[in-house]
Structure 1
């Protein structure tokens, strides 16, 4: 952290007794985190680590529900994606088995209430990127049987059945098979997650949906004009269907200046990320891990903490207080975040910031977790 950033962090008010009491009393739900990548790397999340989350700091941050993403890099393609997903699902269950007194699998709203009552972290499993199902509904059903209760349809690249927001369209939103995926997810009572997908894909999903959907980790395009963020029109569209948007804490999605500078500096980085993957399947894991390290290697001055609150404010103003939550996107590496938000331990600062902006305590509780719980109960059970 630079001297300027250290000074900015020290100027952020520490949570007041009122904020800490509200945070402790509220259900705190983080709708997206990539900690399973660290489990695959052999880290023990049962102890305090150098990452952005672990069981020690989830407790310090007052987190009651953590959604663990099973992220599959598009370099794995249709023939190796399921293996990568299963590696992470195995890591997820090993984490639970090693810490049964502190964390448990949640597959329903009732599970979440039970685990919270037991003082445990409710761990929700989510597939990030429909590439993991390898165009096979049997794999979707298998992931569901293993505990997954939601799926983000794409990641950064379009599939042949769903379009991404950061790639060329391939099927006008959803293909015929893509519509089968959505119908099967509804039958299984899996929550459909539209972070990463194109606007046309969101509209196509909603045309098929009789349950609310989520954008688990997306921010506001009106503040930072990144294609991964949601336009005001899409915020309203998701809200009108009863859904929730989780604000992402990655600096490029929060801050326009950071986004612009990343664009100027990342030509060589993008060339590496877009290079053809190795043909040898045994080399894919090391190649994918190196892509992650390279992606997070580009460091810029961090934006102020207030950017998080500004995105929450904007989403609330556009979509309504019942349709906004938190989806941090932390922990897939040293994710660059605003000053003052270094790990999940800092989440009480969000409660303090919202109170200082004049939010009623009941509305703060909605943003912290009640909104996601409502949608999860409606879509999953």
Structure 2
């Protein structure tokens, strides 16, 4: 080969690689400059199970301080999650308070790295010096019990959104996963809870709710509502856990935001179908055990059930493109001002797109948005501007 051709052939791969590298550098710069708000990270639950110091690198976690700084994450809503089982056995209040204590301890242990955030007014002041801010979102209203005063109690503890129900109907609302609905809307107590949340300035979160419960919560609220981590049902027909076009439009019309998660179970249609089937199978399993118990017979083994299910339903894969499809669809459906991100990091057992495995990977999301032609101003809205606008409006409406 002639020297000139040889040189050209050697340089060709570099020429092809340069634009891609430049694009990723530009995405990283924007991710670190923009204000990124993730409305759903399940770090507190894992801390309760297996402690780790999230102020330094924690290799088995999807959220920690070094990863957050690498990815440009500024505001990470810590999920105060309690289960239907904890609701049933009366431990949800204790568990929620222990999780809040854990988040507070993390901030106190690393005052130069973390701060608990309770108002959008404090963002700029508290993030000075590179802190990652930790507002609290309560996933499942179970810790409220049946006491309306507990809404104020948890507000004073720092909770700034409440997902009214989770994977089972509760005292407040119906779950999207429940095959049989209790309230077909909100309970009488649930209506009082929404009014009190409005009065105090706590965001009403309609993720996880059955459709009728979500519609009533949106209609009753006097301020914007959010969906803290809900993908669009358009891609997963029949999967009530994801938000319908109708309800997404209602959220937007109220001034709220739909925050798109990254978990495979939400964005991969086949995985969503498996998730829905799993809850139906559990429902049947529980009914059968109730029958056996009533007959005085030995109950079926839940561990054996889980093992058999997992073997028949291995984890599926998802992609960054599927997350981008969700965001693009949401923007087309309800407008650029009503879509954001609620990853569900540390809450989906690592079942995430390979490009979005931890909070360090937000630049990949930004690069994908740039490649699809989104303007910088719009990317900033999706990354956090929209959520902060809605939160500010909800706070401004408190007491009115």
1:357 corresponding residue in structure 2? 372
Residue 60, structure 1, aligned to residue 75, structure 2: no
Question: Would the alpha carbon gap of residues 273 and 323 (structure 1) be closer, same or farther in structure 2, given more than 3 Å must change?
Answer: farther
Report the counterpart of residue 6 of structure 1 in structure 2. Answer: none
- Matched-pair contact (CA < 8 Å) for 1:219–1:246: yes
Distance, in Å, in 1 between the alignment partners of 2:309 and 2:150 is: 29
Divergent runs of 4+, >3 A: 260-276, 291-299
2:139 to 119, 128, 140: 128
> 2:54 pairs with 21, 37, 45, which one?
45
Residue 273 of structure 1: how far off its partner (Å): 8.6
Using the alignment, how far apart are the partners of 1:60 and 1:295 within structure 2? 37
Encode CA deviations 1:173-226: one digit per residue, 9 max, x unaligned: 112111110111111111111100122112211222221010000001111232
Aligned residue for 1:202?
214
Equivalent residues of 2:177, 2:279 under 8 A apart:
no
1:71 equivalent among 75, 81, 99: 81
Paired residue for 1:247?
260
SS of the residue aligned with 1:380? Answer: helix
Q: CA separation of 1:343/1:295 partners in 2, compared to 1, >3 Å: closer, same or farther?
A: farther
Match of 1:180 among 187, 192, 195: 192
Does the 8 Å CA contact 1:51/1:333 hold for their aligned counterparts?
no
The answer to whether the 8 Å contact 1:296/1:333 transfers is no
Higher radius of gyration, 1 or 2: 2
In the other structure, the counterpart of 1:30 is 38
Please say if 1:21 is aligned against 2:32: no
Change (3 A) 1:182 1:363: same
Distance of aligned partners of 1:43 and 1:177 in 2 relative to their CA distance in 1, 3 Å threshold: same
- Residue 223 (structure 1) aligned to one of 235, 248, 259: 235
Deviations 1:33-92 (Å, cap 9, x if unpaired)?
Answer: 100012212221112111111111111110010000100011012522101111111111
Alignment coverage as a number of residue pairs? 358
Normalising by structure 2, report the TM-score. Answer: 0.83
Which string of whole-angstrom CA distances, capped at 9 and with x for unpartnered residues, describes residues 215-273 of structure 1?
A: 00000111123221011111111101100010011101101123335566788777789
CA distance in 1, matches of 2:116, 2:383: 20
- 1:327, distance to aligned residue in structure 2 (A): 0.2
Q: Is the Cα contact below 8 Å between 1:173 and 1:204 reproduced in 2?
A: yes
Which whole-Å CA distance do the structure 2 matches of 1:87 and 1:379 have between them? 27
Q: Which residue pairs with 1:9 in the alignment?
A: none
CA distance in structure 2 between the aligned counterparts of 1:266 and 1:58, rounded to whole angstroms: 33
In structure 1, the partner of 2:158 is: 147
Q: CA RMSD in A?
A: 2.7
- Show the counterpart of 1:189: 201
Give the 3 Å change call, closer, same or farther, for CA 266–231 of structure 1 in structure 2: closer
Matches of 1:362 and 1:374 in 2, distance apart?
14
Structure 2: distance between partners of 1:151 and 1:249: 20
Give the equivalent residue in structure 2 for 1:119.
130
The answer to whether the 8 Å contact 1:312/1:324 transfers is yes
Q: TM-score, normalised by structure 1?
A: 0.87
Unaligned runs of 5+ in 1: 1-12, 277-290
Q: 1:166 to 1:264 in 2, by over 3 A?
A: closer
> In structure 1, how many angstroms separate the alpha carbons of the residues matched to 2:56 and 2:310?
24
2:117 corresponds in structure 1 to: 106
Deviation (angstroms), 1:313: 0.6
2:346 maps to 1:331: yes
